[in-house]
């Protein structure tokens, strides 16, 4: 799992962009996990 410091927001932005460009902020109320497919809400990478 990848956890980085970003400003708080409701959901990840630009989910269709590459991983490196995806997390311009992190969700406040939901745990998002970065997978090969991008941020996934409440799921674990296989």
| Each residue's pLDDT tens digit, 2-22 | 555 555 655 555 455 555 444
Q: Indicate whether 37 pLDDT > 60.
A: yes
Would residue 19 count as lying in a domain? yes
2 domain residue, yes or no = no
Report pLDDT for 29: 54
**CA-based nearest residue to 12, from 4, 3, 1, 24:** 24
Write 38-44 long-range contacts (CB < 8 A, 24+): 38/12, 39/12, 39/15, 41/11
Q: Determine whether 39 is exposed, middle or buried from the number of CB atoms within 10 Å of its CB (0-12, 13-18, 19+).
A: buried
In a domain, 1, yes or no: no
| Domain membership of residue 32 as a residue range | 8-41
Q: Which pTM value belongs to this model?
A: 0.16
| Residue 30 predicted with pLDDT over 50 | yes
The answer to whether residue 23 sits within a structural domain is yes
Residues 26 and 16: their CA atoms lie apart, in Å, by 16
Q: Where is 9: in which H helix or E strand?
A: strand 8-9
pLDDT of residue 9: 58
What is the total count of domains within the chain? 1
3 lies in some domain: no
26 is a domain residue: yes
């Amino acid at each position: 799992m990848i956890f980085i410091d970003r400003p708080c927001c409701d959901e990840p932005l630009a989910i269709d962009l590459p991983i490196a460009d995806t997390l311009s902020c992190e969700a406040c109320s939901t745990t998002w996990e970065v997978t090969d497919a991008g941020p996934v809400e409440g799921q674990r990478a296989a």
